[in-house]
Amino acid sequence: MTWVTVTSTGRRRDIARYLVMAALVLVIVAAIVMLVTTAGHAAPIDPVTPTAPATPAPPSGGGLNVQINGPDGAPSSAIVTLIGITLLSVAPALLLMMTSFTKIFVVLAMTRNALALPSIPPNQVLAGLALFLSLFIMAPILTDINDHALQPYLNGAMSFDDAVTLGSGPLRTFMLAHTREEDLALMTRAADQANPVSRDAVSLLTLIPAFMISELRAAFIIGFVIFIPFLVIDLVVSAALMSMGMMMLPPVMISLPFKILLFVLVDGWGLIITTLITSYRGG
């Protein structure tokens, strides 16, 4: 009975403490509300020179009037900000689907796997190198888009539809130059569309996936060529270990230094990057 009484008394004290704390919180909130209300009405009104509030002109048609273009015909800052935020949100998808980033990253990742180094260099390094190589390859195309589509639109000399049409032209030319006819035919049949009159008549919805398929095919061809010399090293090391009866020793441990030595002696990174860049310069 004594324990029950002490427990009940402790619970009553806790409840009383919580009630007091709740009351203090309510008092503080009420004081903050009063201060905010007083500060909102603290600005005095000049009784000598009252200014009549300006009545805004009603928009024509009685609806919401949104100014897309400024007085000089250029798009307003709000529209430019909206377009910039939209481009930032879709930039990763555009980078993967419409540039050389996918092919470069796949080739670099396959090179790392051929060296039997699953995490060296890390993915961040490979992605950064692929990003800057993509910017280097796409620099003429981005400059063309900026000079003939983006800047005229920002200066008010071109409408948004015309800017999109002219801006997609260099990208379309780039993707068509590096897309196989077989992949274009594959995506056209998959979409159940009629055969286009020419390559220039292919829609972007068909061209983009066909371009990605062609890029992956080219990346795997380059990766296959990279794997061949390292596979020969693995076979030689495995045969040597088997002939010496050292079956318990992992061949990868012995072949890894020879792979790295061969890759450094032939300047492997330079050869791979040069091959990737010249594959696009040829197109």
Amino acid letter at 97? M
Identity of the highest mean pLDDT range in 130-134, 158-162, 237-241: 130-134
DSSP code per residue over 48-109? SS--PPP-PPPPGGGS-----B-TTSSBPHHHHHHHHHHHHHHHHHHHHHSSSHHHHHHHHH
Q: Which residue has the higher pLDDT, 121 or 91?
A: 121
Residue 69, phi then psi, degrees to nearest 5: -105, 150
Taking residue 281's Cβ as centre, other Cβ atoms within 10 Å add up to 8
User: Could you give the CA distance from residue 153 to residue 151 in angstroms, rounded to a whole number?
Assistant: 5
pLDDT of 17: 65
pLDDT of 3: 40
Identity of the highest mean pLDDT range in 101-115, 234-248, 253-267: 101-115
Identify the band that residue 40 occupies on the pLDDT scale cut at 50, 70 and 90: very low
Residues 6+ apart with CB under 8 A from 173: none
Tally DSSP H helices, then E strands, for the chain.
10, 0
Identify the band that residue 47 occupies on the pLDDT scale cut at 50, 70 and 90: very low
Residues 173-194 pLDDT 10s: 888 888 888 888 888 888 787 7
| pLDDT at 54 > cutoff 80 | no
| pLDDT at 62 > cutoff 60 | no
